[in-house]
Structure 1
């Protein structure tokens, strides 16, 4: 109660200054929290962007290095090495396709033999047969 009386007895400019100070401190503290949150968000997004850019630059640098070495070898008169991985993988894919085609052909062939057994041949008399065995 004593403090309330003291605050009431202050003149009007002091009370206004006190209220302004309290508003300022609360605004600064809330702005500080907002800035901290924004900074955290920006830092997180910045790290993600930097990581993506680093990957992109790294892969571009790697490609540039590879092309430079190929150009240097071409200028030196050296032929590029055979792409053994590509050749081996193509051979394996070809073998797999050949195996699948062979299996399908064998299955179709064995199914065709069954159909031949089920066919019944019928002797038909034709009226104008050139052979003359009719009749």
Structure 2
């Protein structure tokens, strides 16, 4: 049960980190490329670790898989938009970064849920 708590706390820290980074980017309005780089760097190990945790049966597989997909999609949208704005001075599409941020936060929250729901013996 303690391992599940650590996964839940890690996921909630990720959720808070995404929200705080987004707020910081909006307060200063600069550093889009740096923010994108940081998001990619700290979400890369999350994708790997969440997959490993899923493989160990510490989280509900189906929910965790969806959480991982949401985290990846959210990072692609958020970082892609920030990078394009920094390098090409054009957005990926209107509201791409905020959409990506919300998708990222949903993924983190879903990862916490995956750790709280008994793992069971789901195939996949």
TM-score range, shorter chain: under 0.3
| TM-score (normalised: structure 2) | 0.26
Larger radius of gyration, structure 1 or 2? 1
| TM-score (normalised: structure 1) | 0.24
